[in-house]
Amino acid sequence: MKTVADLVAQGVAGRTVLVRSDLNVPLDGGVITDDGRVRAAAPTIRALAEAGARVVVTAHLGRPKGAPDPAFSLAPVATRLGELLDTEVTLAGDVVGESAQAVVTNMADGQVALLENVRFDPRETSKVDAERVALAEDFATLVGQHGAFVSDGFGVVHRKQASVYDVATLLPAFAGDLVLSEVDVLRTLTGDPARPYVVVLGGSKVSDKLAVIEALLPKVDKLLVGGGMCFTFAAAQGGQVGGSLLEKDMIGTCERLLAEAGDKLVLPTDVVAADDLKAPTVTDVLPVGEIPADRMGLDIGPESVRRFAGELASAKTVFWNGPMGVFEVPDFAAGTKGVAQAIIDSDAFSVVGGGDSAAAVRTLGLAEDGFSHISTGGGASLEYLEGKDLPGVTVLSTGGNTP
């Protein structure tokens, strides 16, 4: 893959460079609650601007329905990005329309502009190739004859979308530093990782993680399972899980996985259970398979944390994706925090697989530098580990539109 360093070496002063970043941050009343993705995107943008490029950033936020929606505007992101870059970041009022054209036309060397949410244009996520290509052509026209494209949004490289894939077939295409670092880390995990290699998986549903479980089981030394999906495994072992999250149609699959995995698969032995998630009046610790009908399991228990920590203590490589419980609620955060701290305390090369896990690190006040790498792309990370093709990486690896 050609890199940002290669692009800068060519000379970018006076050129317009389109950068696809992942700025899909959580908002609460228009306020960014976790700016991790903005901070991760800033270095590549800064490097290009300092080299004299006119940097035009495109990104999405949330899932608008192919039309402008003020609730999904990138305005708060433009403000935060400007603070991190210590410069004004102009926000265009549209994706590739009159406002975007005016903003780009009036840019000077070293300036940064942000286009409005790319998913306001229905062509971005269209399943029709010609529609996506039409938007990519508009991007190419926007940056002009000497323009270039930098892919730096790792969280979207598993999507065959106009601003991720198609534009790379039309413009000289380069991998941003963030994408390069993410791919390098994941290659370490899929190559010959130092052993013991321990994977920690959480999250709500077995069905969401089935493909990665099946892909990783032959490769890991231990697979620790927490989160809501542990209850389907408990049911597969004949346990009573009360009102806990349960995928009845996955019980048979869990039975098969348990039989195939042997002692590789490590499940919680106890859970923190309550009568209600939002307003619990009764909270206690119960064996994972002995939850009464009027309770639900909402976090792994202290014995499970100690057991998981014991497995992690000797690990040399760790990959973690998915919280151990409903960490956003203080009563059910101890499991996630305890397991995360055990990863920090280990001597392992440790990778946090993006998504809710990365959010948990920051929400729970854990030291980010305690992990070797915190990914910005949960879905992309999992698909890479599953062995799936990542279109936004493949198009760069095969040359894209080679300059």
pLDDT in tens, 197-239: 999 999 889 999 999 999 999 999 999 999 999 999 999 999 9
Measuring CA to CA, which residue among 178, 177, 216 is closest to residue 375? 178
Counting Cα atoms < 13 Å in the Cβ hemisphere of 137 gives 7
Tell whether residue 263 is among the known ligand binding residues.
Answer: no
Tell whether residue 227 is among the known ligand binding residues.
Answer: no
What does DSSP assign to residue 92? Answer: P
pLDDT in tens, 10-64: 999 999 999 999 999 999 999 999 899 999 999 999 999 999 999 999 999 999 9
Task: Please give the structure tokens belonging to residue 193.
Answer: 């990782």
Q: Which residue in the block uniquely carries the two structure tokens 């991790």? A: 36
Measuring CA to CA, which residue among 373, 302, 368 is closest to residue 336? 302
- 37 catalytic? Reply is yes
Return the H-helix or E-strand segment holding 8.
helix 4-10
CA angle in degrees (0–180, nearest 5) for 204-126-179: 65
Tell whether residue 390 is among the known ligand binding residues.
Answer: no
Amino acid at position 392, single letter: G
Instruction: With cut-offs at 50, 70 and 90, classify the pLDDT of residue 257.
Output: very high
* Helices and strands in the chain, H and E counts: 14, 19
pLDDT of residue 259: 95
Tell whether residue 306 is among the known ligand binding residues.
Answer: no
pLDDT of residue 282: 86
Tell whether residue 126 is among the known ligand binding residues.
Answer: no
Counting Cα atoms < 13 Å in the Cβ hemisphere of 27 gives 17
Residue 403, pLDDT > 60, answer no
Residue 356, pLDDT > 90, answer no
Q: Write phi, then psi, for 168 (nearest 5 degrees).
A: -70, -15
Tell whether residue 37 is among the known ligand binding residues.
Answer: yes
Q: How far apart are the first and last CA of the chain?
A: 12
Q: Which residues contact 280 (CB under 8 A, 6 or more apart)?
A: 274, 331
- 205 catalytic? Reply is yes
- 3-class SS of residue 319: strand
Alpha helices by DSSP H, 205-333 = 206-216, 230-236, 251-261, 302-313
Tell whether residue 181 is among the known ligand binding residues.
Answer: no
pLDDT of residue 163: 98
- 20 catalytic? Reply is no
Radius of gyration of the chain (CA): 23
pLDDT in tens, 92-121: 999 999 999 999 999 999 999 999 999 999
Tell whether residue 297 is among the known ligand binding residues.
Answer: yes
pLDDT in tens, 111-164: 999 999 999 999 999 999 999 999 999 999 999 999 999 999 999 999 999 999
Catalytic residue among 52, 93, 370, 379: 379
Contact status, residue 52 vs residue 14, Cβ threshold 8 Å = yes
Tell whether residue 354 is among the known ligand binding residues.
Answer: yes
Would you put residue 156 in left (φ > 0), alpha (ψ -120 to 50) or beta? alpha
Query: What gap in Å lies between CA 138 and CA 147, rounded to an integer?
Result: 12
Q: Which residues contact 76 (CB under 8 A, 6 or more apart)?
A: 25, 27, 30, 31, 32
Catalytic residue among 20, 37, 132, 307: 37
Measuring CA to CA, which residue among 241, 270, 235 is closest to residue 255? 235
Contact status, residue 152 vs residue 177, Cβ threshold 8 Å = yes
Catalytic residue among 355, 377, 392, 400: 355
Query: What gap in Å lies between CA 271 and CA 59, rounded to an integer?
Result: 39
Tell whether residue 195 is among the known ligand binding residues.
Answer: no
Tell whether residue 373 is among the known ligand binding residues.
Answer: no
Query: What gap in Å lies between CA 22 and CA 44, rounded to an integer?
Result: 12
Tell whether residue 63 is among the known ligand binding residues.
Answer: yes
Q: Over the chain, what is the mean pLDDT? A: 95
- 93 catalytic? Reply is no
Tell whether residue 208 is among the known ligand binding residues.
Answer: no
Catalytic residue among 39, 93, 97, 205: 205
